Chains A and B, each alone.
Chain A
Amino acid sequence: MKLLKILAATTAVAALLASPAFAQTRIALVVKSLGNGFFDAANKGAQEAAKELGDVEVIYTGPTAATAEAQIEVINALIAQQVDAIAISANDPDALVPALQKAMERGIKVISWDSGVAPEGRQLHLNPSETALIGETIIKLAADYLPEGGDVAILSAASTATNQNAWIDAAKAVLPAKFANINLVSVVYGDDDSVKSTDEAKGLIASYPNLKAIIAPTTVGVVAAAQVVTDQGLIGKINVTGLALPSEFKQFIDNGASQAVALWNPIDLGYSAVMLANDLVKGGEAKPGAKLSMGRMGELTLDDTNSGAMAAPFTFDKSNIEEFSKIY
């Protein structure tokens, strides 16, 4: 009897507590694991989006261990809270599918961002960037500082790395049309190994005396190349650029071995994810060819698998490397 009374009382309290929650759109930003600077930065962007939208509350959550099982427990808790949308960076593209399907069955909008979920487990996927944009960006990074043109070389990861090769092909494709005075002399492979990348960078410098820039679209290669340029006293003669983690690469922007590098911006990513989730909650429909709003980041166009690319990689130079090196 007493228990029944308690239960009745708690239900009454629960009902009272529940009512104000419905006034807002609640979007859960679920990350691979908490305590990771990249995702904390994404949350910063998500909060910015919430502020801009006004009626949106962002719930930033994720497991401590980066496992699919732990993420499912988080998803179950969010389903129980009847959130309006879940935007997730997945620890496993397949294992989360049943849990996310359950969420969708109960009327929750589900999108994945950064690290995707298989198409049947989400309504859309937000890629940080896409092959063509990355290919163009890495050439542009070098060309921006070579007004008269000149020889450049690419230091890649493994020759079998699918994403690297796709980016390099895209880079080659834009060269004749947009960067006619840039001459790509060689593509070498450092296998994402510091020692091999260093040797390959040294080889490039020895073989091409007129080399003006080394482009390394890999975070390992770019650091190795910048170190070689620094050690050989070639700062100012050869510009190193590519895709780099700001925290690892800050010293080479500071010492002048590199003018600028690029990578995805987690703040923009979190911002766009919340904007897209909000769009779906407010009636937007995710289907191939659809255009959805990402606020200040523009529009996302969905492809056949309902995924889309946010933007070209974000450029880091002297003006902002300090700020971003603290984030990731």
Chain B
Amino acid sequence: MTDTSLHRSLPDRLDNPLRSALLSWESLLVLVAVVIFIVNSFASPYFLNAWSLSDLTFNFTEKALIALAMALLIIAGEIDLSVAAIIALASTLMGLALQYGADTPVLVAIGVGTGIACGAVNGFLVTGLKLPSIVVTIGTMSLFRGISFIILGDQSFKGYPKSFSWFGQGYVWGVISFELVLFVLCAVIYFVLLHRTNFGRRVFAIGNNAVAAQFSGVRVDRIKFVLFCLTGLMSGVAAVLLTARLGSTRPSIAEGWELEAITMVVLGGVSIVGGAGSILGVVLAAIIMGLVTFGLGLLNVPGIVMSIFIGGLLIVVIALPILFRMWRQRT
């Protein structure tokens, strides 16, 4: 990241397409995913089973939906730490509406609407008041979850209708869950949005140099505001899915998920300082995290070992390309 260099190619498309495709982060992630898949198949006799593979997807779909929008936000040089708290608030408000007899369409609208509203609050504080996003979202993280705790205390909402549960527990066809279908659909939408539209080019431009982008006529604040709303929207969608899957709401719902979503984004090759990254990488990273957690779960490996493994994987995958580059420069 040398700001003085004149030639600044945007890193989602490098000079030599074939060579860069083979040496790209995504190829490395595909390799890692295939290796883990094969290791899992050998390590546990229960892995290669349609229902196992279907259950596996539930380990990452909801978090990965958030990671898709989070990737855009991080590429634009911002971050949202309040996503898990948005899930808690959206889920709590859905539960509250349920007490007043709301039906499935209303519940979904409230969940998604709460997500967008929370995202708009974050977006306004960051773009309107020019506050750093990390500070704003640490604040709203406590605020949103705090409201859930005030409403619920140590109680829980339950009794969601069957038609609502389908969003988190239903299958579209055979072992293909609704959550998986929605995730694939959203991944395609976000891929097109980031890599095939002017909006996406502007997101990269803002992440590389927000001031230059501003002077080039990009409406930086408006785009950032939209990105916060999108992240809120995806958190709202995740809230609907998770609440439907759990069939209940507690204020501690989805605790710690913000870090898991960010881990997916970083593992997916998105530069944490902004300006570079791809949706394909994030999708692969989400699949890898699902494969690792489920694979180790099948072997009944304690959770703490899983955390260590994920942490190690993160460092290795980030360090490998850097080491490779150093090695190439020496020879």
Chain A residues within 8 Å of B, Cβ to Cβ: 6-7, 10-11, 13-15, 17-18, 21, 33-35, 59-65, 67-70, 72-74, 76-77, 79-82, 92, 94-95, 97-98, 102, 106
CA distance A102 to B56 in the complex (A): 14
CA distance A98 to B169 in the complex (A): 8
A10 touches B42 (CB 8 A): yes
Min C-beta distance of B306 to chain A, whole Å = 7
B294 touches A77 (CB 8 A): yes
B303 touches A70 (CB 8 A): yes
B209 part of interface (Cβ distance < 8 Å): no
Residues 246-300 of B at the A interface (beta carbon under 8 Å):
246-248, 250, 252-257, 293-294, 297-298, 300
B55 touches A76 (CB 8 A): yes
B163 part of interface (Cβ distance < 8 Å): no
B105 part of interface (Cβ distance < 8 Å): no
11 cross-chain CB contacts under 8 A: A11-B48, A14-B48, A18-B46, A64-B304, A69-B253, A72-B245, A73-B294, A77-B294, A80-B51, A92-B246, A94-B246
A95 touches B250 (CB 8 A): yes
Query: Smallest CB-CB separation from B256: which chain A residue?
Result: A65
Among A18, A33, A67, the residue within 8 A (CB) of B255 is: A67
Among B38, B56, B165, B253, the residue within 8 A (CB) of A98 is: B165
B300 touches A73 (CB 8 A): no
Query: Smallest CB-CB separation from A11: which chain B residue?
Result: B48
Residues of A within 8 A of B48 (CB): 7, 10-11, 14
Min C-beta distance of A207 to chain B, whole Å = 35
B158 part of interface (Cβ distance < 8 Å): yes
B214 part of interface (Cβ distance < 8 Å): no
CA distance A62 to B45 in the complex (A): 21
Residues of B within 8 A of A64 (CB): 302-304, 306-307
Residues of A within 8 A of B47 (CB): 14, 80
A82 touches B250 (CB 8 A): no
B127 part of interface (Cβ distance < 8 Å): no
> Number of contacts between A and B (CB, 8 Å)?
120
Min C-beta distance of A62 to chain B, whole Å = 7
A76 touches B59 (CB 8 A): yes
Residues of B within 8 A of A80 (CB): 46-47, 49, 51-52, 55-56, 294, 298
Residues of B within 8 A of A7 (CB): 41, 48
CA distance A102 to B171 in the complex (A): 13
B304 touches A35 (CB 8 A): yes
B27 part of interface (Cβ distance < 8 Å): no
Dominant SS at the B interface? helix
B300 touches A67 (CB 8 A): no
CA distance A62 to B168 in the complex (A): 23
Among A11, A33, A60, A77, the residue within 8 A (CB) of B298 is: A77
Residues of A within 8 A of B55 (CB): 76-77, 79-80
Min C-beta distance of B241 to chain A, whole Å = 12
B156 part of interface (Cβ distance < 8 Å): yes
> Known interface pairs A67-B256, A92-B250, A94-B247. Does A81 touch B44 (Cβ–Cβ under 8 Å)?
yes
B178 part of interface (Cβ distance < 8 Å): no
With an 8 Å Cβ cutoff, the count of chain B residues facing the other chain is: 42
Residues of A within 8 A of B46 (CB): 14, 18, 80-82
CA distance A35 to B51 in the complex (A): 30
Among A6, A61, A73, A95, the residue within 8 A (CB) of B59 is: A73
Residues of A within 8 A of B191 (CB): none
Min C-beta distance of B302 to chain A, whole Å = 5
B149 part of interface (Cβ distance < 8 Å): no
- Give the one of A18, A59, A80 with max B CB within 10 A: A80
Min C-beta distance of B288 to chain A, whole Å = 15
The contact string, 1 if C-beta is below 8 Å from chain A, for chain B 26-47, is 0000000000001001101111
Query: Smallest CB-CB separation from A18: which chain B residue?
Result: B45
Residues of B within 8 A of A69 (CB): 242, 246, 253-255, 257
CA distance A65 to B300 in the complex (A): 15
CA distance A95 to B248 in the complex (A): 5
Residues of A within 8 A of B59 (CB): 73, 76
A34 touches B51 (CB 8 A): no
Min C-beta distance of B4 to chain A, whole Å = 45
Query: Smallest CB-CB separation from A70: which chain B residue?
Result: B303
Min C-beta distance of B82 to chain A, whole Å = 18
Query: Smallest CB-CB separation from A60: which chain B residue?
Result: B300
Min C-beta distance of A96 to chain B, whole Å = 8
CA distance A69 to B246 in the complex (A): 8
B303 touches A63 (CB 8 A): yes
B245 touches A98 (CB 8 A): yes
Residues of A within 8 A of B52 (CB): 80
CA distance A61 to B296 in the complex (A): 12
CA distance A62 to B303 in the complex (A): 7
Given known contacts A69-B254, A77-B55, what 17 new A-B pairs fall within 8 Å (CB)? A10-B41, A11-B48, A17-B45, A61-B300, A64-B303, A65-B256, A69-B246, A70-B303, A73-B59, A76-B56, A76-B58, A76-B59, A77-B300, A82-B46, A95-B253, A98-B246, A106-B51
Residues of A within 8 A of B45 (CB): 13-15, 17-18, 21
A73 touches B49 (CB 8 A): no
B297 touches A77 (CB 8 A): yes
B42 touches A13 (CB 8 A): yes
Min C-beta distance of B38 to chain A, whole Å = 6
A92 touches B248 (CB 8 A): yes
